[in-house]
Amino acid sequence: MKKVILASMLALSLTSAFANEGDLTLPGERWAAKFTAFVCADGNTQTAGVPADFAERNVVFGKATTDMSLDNLLVRATFVENGVTCNYSALLFADNAAWTVKLVDSKAYSANNESSCLEGKKFLDSALADNKYKYLHGRAAIYVPATDADVQCSAEESTVGLHFQVTGKIQ
């Protein structure tokens, strides 16, 4: 009996360890979108270059998903820290009346626990903490701070948009 209990406890601890791996999830995912480009705040999709802060960390945004309400958003990205690729996922909450989006939770990890991924996570968490966004006809842009936004877009800019294009409904 003790062996069964011990085996069960070991299995539970292994399950918990693996549960800590992987991206965050968004219950009730309904819409999928893909990252298309960094954009300027001109109301269009004027493409900007990759901001230096993001290029320095080799940040690559991937897909984003929302729930039915369009208020809850899950964004996925990768970045490189100390030569190791890290996966990042962030849950955001959109206030559609105020056109703002705020970070709720995030997670970063490397595939084989080769890195803590903490510095890149701190950077992305800070970038996604509290921002303006625009949504129009299946496109959305989250405007994040970028130290060279004035070079990427115009002298008056301090942010660059992460542009996502809706790809379809999740079945």
Q: Domain segments of the chain: what residues?
A: 29-169
Q: What is the pLDDT of residue 42?
A: 65
Q: Which fold has domain 29-169?
A: Lipocalin (2.40.128)
The Cα 160–Cα 98 span in angstroms is: 19
Q: What is the mean pLDDT of residues 94-122?
A: 95
pTM of structure: 0.85
Per-chain mean pLDDT for the chain: 86
Tokens of 87: 């996966």
Closest CA to 133 of 102, 89, 167, 166: 102
Across the strands, what pairs with 67?
29
- φ/ψ of 157, rounded to 5, equals -85, 145
The Cα 58–Cα 115 span in angstroms is: 15
Q: What is the pLDDT of residue 20?
A: 46
Helix (H, G, I), strand (E, B), or coil: what is residue 124?
helix
The Cα 93–Cα 34 span in angstroms is: 18
CB 65 within 8 A of CB 29: yes
Q: Please report, in angstroms and rounded to a whole number, the separation of the first and last CA atoms in the chain.
A: 45
